[in-house]
Structure 1
Amino acid sequence: MAQSTILLADDDAGIRLIASQTLIAEGHSVRSTTNPTALMRWVRNGDGDLLITDVYMGDDCIFDLMPDIRAERPDLPIIVISGQSTLMTAMSAAEHGAFDYLPKPFDIDELATLTKKALSSKAGPKKIERTVRAPDSRLNEAVIGRSAPMQAVFRTMSRVKNTSLTVLIEGESGTGKETIARAIHDLGNRNGRPFVPVNMAAVERERIEAELFGVVGPDGNVTPGRVAQSDGGTLFLDEVGDMPLDAQTQLLRFLQNGEFSPVGSTTTDVSTTRVIAATSHDLRALVEKGAFRNDLFYRLNVVTITIPPLRARKDDIPELAKRFLKRAEAEGLGQKTIDAKALKRLSLHDWPGNVRELQNVVMRMIALSSEPVISEELVQASLVSERRLPQEDGESLEQKLKDILREYVEPELRSAGEGEGTIYQDVISMVERPLIELALNVTGGNKVKAAQLLGMNRNTLRSKINSLEIASPD
């Protein structure tokens, strides 16, 4: 195999040295520069078989140069490396036709492997699709992640966002699966079409088919389901593992050929919606138990994105916490900052409830703190007040509540006769008292703060306290 020449553009002398040594050891020759003008001269002269470049060289951004590079050398593979490591960096690299994106610090073996793949891929110009757009602030804050596990997520997102491939997002409750699904939709070529989320665990099992595919009413008119509503866009099926087998069969048919029939209809409709599914369950285990169709699993599992739990990406906690503070300020909850010791204490926690739990704790501290700076002491008190169920197996509180309801409430639901029941209100009543008592304990009996934490109107809270005869803590 002939020796390949690698063009290496990076301001960081340490990165240039390590990368050069690695590439030379692999049998390549290396030409490195920190000057965009020199880089463009090499490109125009036809030098180099591969370009490895940082996003920034001084004040110049490689994404501004890439249209010119592509015009001169459309078949030149480009690997973008970056210390910025944001979702938009990964997305921009893909949108500008980069072969791949590698966040710093990178593993030298990964660089060598990626280089080999890029050099062997030179089969013609890479297709460039210009659909990237600046995300709104909510999207930007939701997809924070400079940690290595999140970088892997971003790279996969950048590759699938403009495709029609079915995506399965796996992760514990609270990791942000819907946020990732929405980002794929919003940053892809379906962003002008609907994004329709459906939580399979929240829909009555006997109504799931009608919810998804629509239903013919007594008058013969069809009430559209979520598949029809999301036509041309994205249908997000959260907790897909909770679907009953009958509904799984209908979903499989739709994924196979895009066809579906509303419940009670003899006609067949077609939809071009793209399906993104998510689960906090192990679908493979459900398949083995016969609770989930094997063929549906493989239809959903075309591309898998595994969202890491927050305890596996603790480097992201300080930035996430600061973003939640900014969100609270934008929502009129006051301007707060958080000191370094408090951020360190947040980063030491294992966060069994993941990003959702972190957000709840930050919002609680904002409500409870009268000081402009959130202290380590307040963080410690807030974490103690979580009083969550044991998390020995990493299972979330939400999943444990589901298991409790299945054990104690499902038998009652199945044995209930016809007519209006009281099960819903009974369960709510059982939860209401301990929840309000817990909020009052956390706030030392302060009803105004307790109402803020619970998201309730203070008059409603007072009414509940009186009707449930809840005594204020001493």
Structure 2
Amino acid sequence: MDGTVLIADDDRTIRTVLTQALTRAGCRVHATGSLAQLSKWVEEGRGDLVITDVMMPDGNGIDRIPAIRDMRPDLPVIVISAQNTIVTAIRATEAEAFEYLPKPFDLPDLMSKANLALSRRPRKSDPVPEPLPAPREAADPAMPLIGHAPSMQALFRMVARVLNADLPVLIAGEAGVGKTTIARSFHELSDRRGNGLAFVTSADAGDEAVARAGEKARGGTLVIENPAGFDAAAQARLIGLIEALESGPDRASAPRIVATTGPDPQADVASGRLRSDLYYRLAGVTVSVPPLRARVDDILPLAAHLLARAAAQGLPERGLSDEASAALRVHPFPGNVRELENMMRRLALTASGPQISGTEMREALNQQAGMRMPAPASLGASMTGAPQNGLDQAPAIPMPAANARLSDSVEAHLQRYFDLHGDALPPPGLYDRILREIERPLLQVALDATGGNQLRCADLLGINRNTLRKKLTELNIEVTRRRKLM
């Protein structure tokens, strides 16, 4: 490795480690804790590579990149940061940083990136890049999309790369991982953020509702929640809407399509739950969101972030004791970030002191084990439970315990559905849509329980067999080998 590297970081330990590693690799190194000093070196013509932190005492490293490029267009910049959020990754990408690495970074990985940057130094005859656009304004620091885990950083980089592309996006993941928040980020952090954002759920899948959503999202973003949960007629309407938006006279102002789905959308296609032609229209780019158990090192930073956000919303300020932190790290979190959000809000309210104790944490975990986290249901969308405010979602509502009444579970799902619409009301016709949503799974479960025997199923439900047949036709419930109409 050959070249001069300029390092700017306010952490003396990091400056020392990088200086020693790069010097051993054959580089010359100048290190500083000041962006002003870094800018002076760049202006003097020093350095073949810059490695800079983001949050510095005298400024922001990403904000300094345009000035560096003005002075030295051919000087690559590697950004390192402890601000492990999707906003940081997007801003580093927009500033055309050579690479972005979260702290604590893997030293061999950084050395490899530095070697690549030095080896790609442009010749003097290379064209000068176009000036950078103005830095992004008003990024929401409360957005819960944070994570140092490699899987999350890969997700952030993917989002940053396709943020302003015209391709449709399919966001896949388990319930509670934050798919709706990521869907919102594709709108709120993109060039479309000044235009409309609309959601379509299976409860809003009528002709008029779908058309209204498409019109509201003109020039902006249309989010389709769990299309595999839509019935066949609704999926056909979605295909018609997408075709009309892409080929109609107003296609120049067509919204971007972003859809959320379960962890394996191709399995939904194979099972017939999701039409293949709809899937291929939605899966221009597929973004997979990892479950929380796959990124254990993110649990404690997320918990601290959620407690701080709860305090900002008026709940008592809390921290985690070492014993509480240890208990939290080993919990499997089947409900993912949504479950963690519920737990942190509850502990912020009920803890007896400023530090949540190990006993309080274990009691909360035991209580959580007896609570049923919601699956991605058609009534609500996949949500993180954050307040609907900028990129955040509506307040999470703990789901009733397994022995609770059915009405309690229905009420919780309905509340999530209303919360998804924020200050607005859901589209008209809610009564019939909700009854239809409940009726369909009731018939399906009853059919499965009776092995597809329509006479036994009708008797079980207490309705006439002809009425059952009519409802199966109306609800477009497919006839399988185990569900033969009599």
What are the residue-to-residue correspondences of 1:21-420 with 2, within 5 Å? 21=24, 24=26, 29-34=27-32, 36=35, 39-40=38-39, 43-44=42-43, 50-55=49-54, 59-107=58-106, 110-111=109-110, 114-115=113-114, 120=120, 124-125=128-129, 128-130=132-134, 132-136=136-140, 140-200=142-202, 202-203=203-204, 207-212=205-210, 214=211, 225-249=212-236, 251-252=238-239, 255=242, 258-259=245-246, 270=251, 271-388=253-370, 397-398=374-375, 407-408=444-445, 415=468
Residue 347 of structure 1, CA deviation:
1.8
Partners of 1:369 and 1:40 lie apart in 2 by: 48
Amino acid at match of 2:338: R
Deviations 1:199-227 (A, max 9, x none): 34x44xxx455432x2xxxxxxxxxx211
Partners of 1:83 and 1:327 lie apart in 2 by: 18
Q: 1:53 to 1:234 in 2, by over 3 A?
A: same
Deviations 1:191-249 (A, max 9, x none): 2222222334x44xxx455432x2xxxxxxxxxx2111111111111213323455445
Deviations 1:140-164 (A, max 9, x none): 2422323333222222222233333
Partners of 2:304 and 2:295 lie apart in 1 by: 16
Q: 1:367 to 1:10 in 2, by over 3 A?
A: closer
Amino acid at match of 1:292: L
SS at match of 1:175: coil
Partners of 2:21 and 2:216 lie apart in 1 by: 52
Contact 1:133 1:187 in 2 (8 A): no
Q: Flag structure 1 segments of 5+ consecutive residues without an equivalent.
A: 215-224, 262-267, 391-395, 419-474
Q: 1:15 to 1:253 in 2, by over 3 A?
A: farther
Residue 255 of structure 1, CA deviation:
4.8
Amino acid at match of 1:161: L
Amino acid at match of 1:132: R
Contact 2:6 2:31 in 1 (8 A): yes
Contact 1:76 1:125 in 2 (8 A): no
Amino acid at match of 1:16: T
SS at match of 1:172: coil
Deviations 1:280-333 (A, max 9, x none): 241122233344344543443333322221112222323333333344344444
Contact 1:4 1:49 in 2 (8 A): no
Identical-residue share of aligned pairs (%): 36
Partners of 2:17 and 2:129 lie apart in 1 by: 31
Residue 69 of structure 1, CA deviation:
1.3
Deviations 1:362-383 (A, max 9, x none): 2333444455543211221121
Q: 1:330 to 1:89 in 2, by over 3 A?
A: closer
Q: 1:38 to 1:92 in 2, by over 3 A?
A: same
Deviations 1:95-126 (A, max 9, x none): 32313312233345544664576555956516
Deviations 1:248-294 (A, max 9, x none): 45545655673478xxxxxx764521111111241122233344344
Partners of 1:193 and 1:174 lie apart in 2 by: 27
More displaced, 172-181 or 56-65? 56-65
Query: What is the aligned partner in structure 2 of residue 447 from structure 1?
Result: none
Query: What is the aligned partner in structure 2 of residue 16 from structure 1?
Result: 19
Partners of 2:298 and 2:147 lie apart in 1 by: 6
Amino acid at match of 1:143: L
Contact 2:82 2:102 in 1 (8 A): yes
Query: What is the aligned partner in structure 2 of residue 471 from structure 1?
Result: none
Contact 1:199 1:238 in 2 (8 A): yes
Amino acid at match of 1:87: I
Aligned-residue RMSD, C-alpha: 3.8
Amino acid at match of 1:308: P
Contact 2:22 2:29 in 1 (8 A): no
Q: 1:104 to 1:362 in 2, by over 3 A?
A: closer
Amino acid at match of 2:21: I
Contact 1:153 1:306 in 2 (8 A): yes
Query: What is the aligned partner in structure 1 of residue 5 from structure 2?
Result: 7
Contact 1:131 1:188 in 2 (8 A): no
Contact 1:95 1:130 in 2 (8 A): no
Q: How many residues align?
A: 384
Amino acid at match of 2:328: L
**TM-score scaled by length of structure 2:** 0.67
Q: 1:197 to 1:160 in 2, by over 3 A?
A: same
Amino acid at match of 1:359: E
SS at match of 1:101: strand
Residue 6 of structure 1, CA deviation:
5.3
Q: 1:365 to 1:389 in 2, by over 3 A?
A: closer
